[in-house]
């Protein structure tokens, strides 16, 4: 059987590709092939364990696929000349256009003891995640390897269940790959205050015990007692299918694509974690793998299936998380990252209560920090904390970056304010941070 569009993979990128193919082209002859009976909401996985308390509360509904057909099966090969995909069942399916959304898999470091039965990676498989959930019921001491977003979120969720939790991070700070140092320190302070032990600047040397993990040993010789280890140190692209089909793989392991999400074969597109990402700032490959990036790429690929329409101008990492009662959002480059890239950085910061007047119920301080290039004036990145509304502030910063807004333009941003919803117009954090950066530039010129 042949279909107009075949999509391999049914997580965020695959679902969005199916939705937008139907919207853009009015095509109902879309087939989505995925291995899983049920698809997890990727970013919701840590919250299964402390907040949701059930795997089936973190499910992506199949109704999102609309009129697209769904087949459960494993694609084992692509024949680009015949324009077919082969399934493990022996079935062959033809396509006019093929979208690869095969995702990623957790990185498994070659560390002694990783094969012990109570050592878990952060997989997207419902049955595996349910086994982890059940095993957690009998665990008292949990060690989380990795202090990025997944590791921090898992630690915080395990803490909510009453477990004794420790995080081990090889870098000097948790969240260091994304957030500026002061925000990393704030997040660590919140974790420590909640009872999570934080071991930074230290790598995991081995996992000890008999058949099960009983302790971990760090590079400096410290040992941490545990009866469960959760490994969340990142992911690697699922590129095997594409590589076997002769498609080029990029430097970070993703399937090489152009600005229209096309691979080297004009009939084959790649989106999401399996696809190579290119920086908005300089076009260099970047290892940013997020569901939000996947859906954006899927929209672009769907629009371009039959002729180029939309370009991918490059990836801007936009991240957010919650640690305890502190929310964090970050978009673009931190000041350290920008300096390393050769920018002459100027920083603007502002803090004000999230509502006005400050006596309004639940008014809390919100801080915004923006990073600009002194020479061009363009916004390079920014972060916000600590109220739950900062996720949208991060998105607003990203919008300003991708539209090449300057210090003056952000300082004069036409904001709307309301006592229940925002800071005062006299102290609106985004515009005030830009104004403070602008004053620095004026004084130094």
Task: Give the pLDDT of residue 54.
Answer: 96
How far is residue 60's CA from residue 46's CA, in Å, rounded to a whole number? 15
Q: Given a cut of 80, is residue 445 above it in pLDDT?
A: no
How far is residue 293's CA from residue 287's CA, in Å, rounded to a whole number? 11
Neighbours of 82 (CB within 10 A): 11
Helix (H, G, I), strand (E, B) or coil at 144: strand
State mean pLDDT over 401-405.
97
Task: Give the pLDDT of residue 387.
Answer: 86
Task: Give the pLDDT of residue 438.
Answer: 95
The model's pTM is 0.95
* DSSP symbols for 84-121: EEEETTS-EEEEEEEEE---EEE-----TTTTSTTEEE
Give, as one character, the DSSP assignment of residue 256.
P
107-118 as b/e: b if 16+ CB within 10 A: eeeebebbebeb
Q: Mean pLDDT over all residues of the chain? A: 96
Strands (E), 186-257: 197-200, 204-208, 215-218, 223-225, 228-231, 235-237
Task: Give the pLDDT of residue 433.
Answer: 97
Q: What is the pLDDT of residues 95-122, one digit of tens each?
A: 999 999 999 999 989 999 999 999 999 9
Q: Which residues lie below 8 Å from residue 444, measured CB to CB, with a gap of 6+?
A: none
Q: Given a cut of 90, is residue 379 above it in pLDDT?
A: yes
Q: Helix 390-402 to helix 429-444 angle, to the nearest 10 degrees?
A: 50
State mean pLDDT over 355-366.
94
State mean pLDDT over 139-150.
96
Q: What is the pLDDT of residues 145-203, one digit of tens each?
A: 999 999 999 999 999 999 999 999 999 999 999 999 999 999 999 999 999 999 999 99
**Which domains does the chain carry?**
2-104+236-303 (3.50.50.60), 108-233 (3.50.50.60), 327-444 (3.30.390.30)
Nearest Cα neighbor of 170 from 109, 260, 126 is 109
How far is residue 383's CA from residue 320's CA, in Å, rounded to a whole number? 9
State mean pLDDT over 407-433.
96
Helix (H, G, I), strand (E, B) or coil at 403: coil
The total number of residues written for the chain in this structure: 445
Q: What is the pLDDT of residues 221-231, one digit of tens each?
A: 999 999 999 99
Task: Give the pLDDT of residue 29.
Answer: 96
Task: Give the pLDDT of residue 443.
Answer: 84
State mean pLDDT over 289-306.
97
State mean pLDDT over 255-264.
98
What percentage of the chain reaches a pLDDT higher than 70?
100
Q: Given a cut of 90, is residue 444 above it in pLDDT?
A: no
State mean pLDDT over 123-137.
95
State mean pLDDT over 350-365.
94
Alpha helix positions (H), 173-311: 181-193, 240-244, 291-303
400-431 as b/e: b if 16+ CB within 10 A: bbbeebbbeebbeeeeeeeeeebbeeebbbbb
Task: Give the pLDDT of residue 365.
Answer: 94
State mean pLDDT over 280-306.
97
């Amino acid at each position: 059987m042949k279909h107009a569009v075949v999509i391999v993979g049914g997580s965020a990128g695959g679902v969005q590709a199916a939705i937008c193919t139907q919207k853009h082209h009015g095509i109902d002859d879309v087939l989505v092939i995925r291995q899983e009976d049920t698809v997890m909401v990727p970013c919701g996985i840590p919250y299964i364990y402390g907040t949701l308390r059930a795997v089936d509360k973190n499910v992506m509904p199949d109704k999102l696929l609309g009129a697209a057909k769904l087949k459960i099966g494993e694609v084992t090969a692509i024949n680009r000349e015949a324009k077919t995909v082969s399934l493990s069942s022996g079935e062959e399916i033809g396509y006019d256009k093929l979208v690869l959304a095969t995702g990623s898999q957790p990185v498994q470091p070659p560390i002694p003891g990783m094969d012990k039965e109570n050592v878990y990676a952060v997989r997207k498989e419902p049955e595996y995640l349910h086994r982890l959930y059940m095993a957690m019921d009998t665990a008292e001491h949990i060690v989380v390897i990795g202090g990025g977003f997944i590791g921090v979120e898992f630690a915080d969720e395990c803490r909510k269940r009453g477990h004794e939790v420790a995080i081990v991070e090889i870098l000097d700070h948790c969240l260091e790959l994304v957030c500026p140092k002061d925000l990393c320190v704030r997040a660590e302070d919140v974790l420590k205050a909640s009872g999570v032990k934080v071991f930074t600047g230290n790598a995991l040397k081995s996992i000890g015990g008999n058949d099960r993990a009983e302790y971990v040993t760090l590079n400096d010789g410290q040992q941490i007692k545990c009866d469960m280890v959760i490994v969340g140190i990142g992911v690697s692209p699922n590129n095997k299918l594409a590589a076997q089909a002769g498609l080029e793989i990029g430097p970070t392991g993703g399937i090489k694509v152009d600005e229209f999400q096309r691979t080297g074969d004009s009939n084959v597109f790649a989106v999401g974690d399996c696809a190579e990402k290119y920086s908005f700032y300089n076009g260099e490959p970047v290892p940013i793998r997020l569901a939000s990036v996947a859906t954006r790429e899927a929209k672009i690929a769907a629009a371009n299936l039959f002729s180029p329409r939309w370009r991918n101008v490059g990836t801007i990492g936009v991240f957010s998380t919650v640690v305890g009662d502190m929310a964090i959002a970050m978009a673009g480059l931190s000041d350290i990252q920008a300096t390393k890239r050769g920018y002459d950085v100027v920083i603007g910061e502002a803090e004000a209560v999230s509502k006005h007047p400050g006596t309004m119920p639940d008014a809390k301080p919100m801080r915004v920090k923006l990073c600009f290039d002194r020479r061009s004036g363009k916004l390079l990145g920014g972060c916000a904390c600590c109220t739950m509304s900062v996720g949208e502030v991060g998105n607003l910063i990203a919008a300003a970056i991708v539209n090449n807004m300057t210090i003056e333009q952000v300082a004069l941003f036409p904001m709307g304010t309301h006592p229940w919803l925002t800071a005062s117009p006299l102290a609106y954090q985004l515009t005030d941070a830009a104004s403070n950066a602008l004053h620095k530039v004026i004084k130094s010129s």
